[in-house]
Chain A
Amino acid sequence: MAGLGHSRGRGKGYMSFSIEAVGIGKGENLPPSILQPTPLFPPVEHKPVPLVMGEEAEYMLALKQEFRGNMKNLPFYVRPAVSKKDVERYSDKYQNSEPSDNTIEWNPDWKRLPKELRICVKKALKENTSLSVETTVDPKPRKKTRVDKEEIIHNLETLEEEVTSDEEEGEKKKQEEEQQDGEEEYDEEEFEEETDYIMSYFDNGEEFGGDSDDNMDEAVY
């Protein structure tokens, strides 16, 4: 490299091959060397030939655009599940509109694919069972809840009174730790008046007036 730089000092420049052979005559003016990158949009000397127009070309154009549009709506267009950046909302539980990552919207023939690619649709099943039983907070294992369900059904059948299932379920939750035999008596007491409140708790104020007659000097709040 140093040698070349040194020799560039004399005349036109010393190249490793004879320039006459390639066609540059002696003393001829070569175009000056360019010391910058080529322009981004060089001027085009020859304009390109115009596009082929006609029925066939237009029909193929329409086909192409339609095909692209259709592909965007097919389930093969994979969109990643967008995570909600907002606060968690109560309605999210019931509003599962966005397809999540672990579901697949079309049914490929699983026999033609390797087993490891199989994506099973599990979430839908879970939703169904939880909604029908209405036990949202259930720390106990499944067997216990099934036993509770049977208990509930059994109780409904044996008791003659009509009650809402919510009430029973609420009862069941409270009573889960305690003995389950005592539930029957408790239920009867409550269900007499068909209210949410426990009867013994409520003081309906009939004795109120009587008491205050004796102690008039005390302030009544």
Chain B
Amino acid sequence: MTAQEVRLCGLLLQEHFGEVVERIGTHLLRGGAQNLRTIANETNTPLDLVKKSLCVLVQHGACEFGSGRRGPGSPVEYRASCERVLRVLRYPRYIYTAKTLYGDTGELIVEEVLQRGHMTMSNTVKTVADRLTHNMEEGRSMEYSEVVSAFSKLVETHFLQRCPPVAEMGTAATSTTPATPSTPAAPASTSPPTAESNPDCYKLPHVTLIGRGKRRRSSDDSEEQRGGKKAKMDSESCGDEGIYWLVNFERFHQHFRDQAIISAVASKLDQTSSEIVRTMLRMSEVTTTQTAAYTQPLSANEIFRSLPPNYSISRPILDQYLSLLVDDPMEFVGKSGDSGGGMYVVNLQRALANLARATLESVVQERFGSRSARIFRLLLRKRHLEQKQVEDFAMIPAKEAKDMLYTLLSENLVQLQEIPKTPDHAPSRTFYLYTVNQLPTARLLLQHCYKTVANLIERRLFETKENKRLLEKSQRIEAILASLQASGAEPEQLTEVEEMITAPERQQLEALRHHINKLDSTENQVDETVFLLESYIFSTKTK
């Protein structure tokens, strides 16, 4: 939980849940596990607001609760998870991926579940059907069964999973006797149950949902209220209470990682090799665990049979492509045996490391120039080099090489390693070697990325606040225009209302929108780098 991470989490919480939740959230992130009273006292917030914020945080999975440190009798303690809050940055990418895989229905399902934290299946299906019906033409509505089929596809491919069951929690006030150890979940497991530990986590409930989406008319609010009440009563009779579904981020991350590898192969070699790698990854989707270093070995025969039908390449050509992939210095594919025409694996860990390395190199290149990048790459490959050797290998004149090395050193991208010749470490008799360590440098860059995104968000908030008056005015005028158009007004009235915004104000608004869009899409792009570096660092942790 570095300072940059906490700052970014705070900004994300503020944008999505308001300032109260932000205050409570950052306090939890900074202070570790705390109980309700401590939080209320230290943040000077009324107890009810604290309770509400904690409910919101638990609903969205950002906070977990467990029995206190002093045993089952002590008050419940709450723990916030920094990693989970940072996922909020990646929501648009998840929704877009669901759209590319499962169409509009899938997109809306994932969006609804992300907005609400976790939902029951019946609730999701109804809301999504209503939303789809709203966007369709008059007279057509969406069948529940279509939404249910999209939902089941998402569950089958593990993109959605059930919420883990909650252990029985008793408060200090109610338990006069200490909690009996016969309850299965309580003292035995010190860590909260994860979703994966539940054997049913991908099982669909047996619920029959028959119906169509309801079209909501914007004009009658009373009907909406009555419809809302009816919907509430309907959901109570649906039969899948207590079974909540949430988005399985790890599965999406696996998908992104596969995409990154495939596009890397496509840009380094050619389209056909990327198709081969895609086939291999698809075949090993279910057999590979998330933290595996490489996929299960696949024989060339199997790969040949599973290639997509429109890629009809002959068997010897496939073998040639596979040997090309194995010989490539990026080491995406490795050969693990000769049976069955050759057993091949995709080296996931090494691929991630290479992708992270390429990211680091490109960052150095863009910030310091191509010659500094040459020095950086040299040091990555040759590990330790003296000043003189750097100049010789990089073929850069001494003075400039020195300058660049010092710049990189001051930015902490390059480190100095001392190797003493004598035990007294005399400076004249010590080797000073320049070196680059990939993992610490990747961590450093990741923190830079978090800081970048936090700065982008702050700038966007600042721009919005500066022009608040103008934005409010334009919103009011749009509302007036919309209501006039709905009630059928003449064009003169409309132009009159439109002219209430002067031309320079219009220009200012345009510029503001342009800036905000740019800042927003920059955040999305930085998040792609964040994902790559995070995956690399995570893959090195689990040994």
Contacts and interface: CB of A to CB of B under 8 A. Distances in A.
B474 to A, nearest CB: 15
A26 interface: no
B428 interface: yes
B436 interface: no
A51 B525 contact: yes
Contacts of A77: 16-18
B51 interface: yes
Given A46-B368, A63-B95, A71-B115, A78 B56 contact: yes
Given A64-B520, A78-B17, A22 B171 contact: no
Contacts of B171: 114-116
Contact of B48 (A23, A65, A101, A109): A101
Given A18-B427, A63-B95, A68-B15, A78 B242 contact: no
Contact of A61 (B17, B20, B58, B517): B517
Contact of B524 (A60, A114, A116): A60
Contacts of A51: 518, 521-522, 525
Given A23-B387, A49-B366, A78-B20, A56 B170 contact: no
Interface in A68-85: 68, 70-71, 74, 76-80
A101 to B, nearest CB: 4
B103 interface: no
Interface in B188-210: none
Contacts of A57: 521, 524-525
Contact of B525 (A24, A52, A74, A102): A52
B21 interface: yes
Interface in A109-167: 109, 111-119
Contacts of B36: 116-117
Given A71-B17, A76-B59, A119 B52 contact: yes
Nearest to A99: B52
Contacts of B59: 76, 108
A55 B527 CA distance: 18
A91 to B, nearest CB: 22
A49 B365 CA distance: 11
A202 interface: no
Interface in A11-38: 16-18, 21-24
B62 to A, nearest CB: 11
Given A22-B432, A60-B96, A79-B18, A112 B51 contact: no
Interface centre among B51, B52, B523 (most CB of A within 10 A): B52
Contacts of B163: 112
Contacts of B17: 71, 76-78
Contact of A59 (B91, B96, B431, B520): B96
Contact of B170 (A16, A102, A115, A118): A115
Interface string B79-122: 00000000000011101100000000000000100111100000
B427 A67 contact: no
B329 interface: no
Contacts of A101: 46, 48-49, 52
B55 A23 contact: no
A117 B369 CA distance: 56
A39 interface: no
Given A21-B387, A74-B115, A108-B58, 12 more contacts: A46-B368, A51-B522, A63-B91, A71-B17, A78-B17, A78-B18, A78-B53, A80-B46, A109-B241, A112-B58, A116-B75, A119-B55
18 contacts: A16-B427, A18-B427, A23-B402, A24-B402, A59-B96, A60-B521, A60-B524, A63-B111, A64-B520, A78-B17, A78-B20, A101-B46, A101-B48, A104-B52, A111-B166, A112-B163, A114-B76, A119-B51
Interface of B: 15-18, 20-21, 36, 46, 48-49, 51-56, 58-60, 65, 75-76, 91-93, 95-96, 111, 114-117, 163, 166, 169-171, 174, 241-242, 244, 366-369, 387-388, 398, 402, 405, 427-428, 430-432, 517-518, 520-525
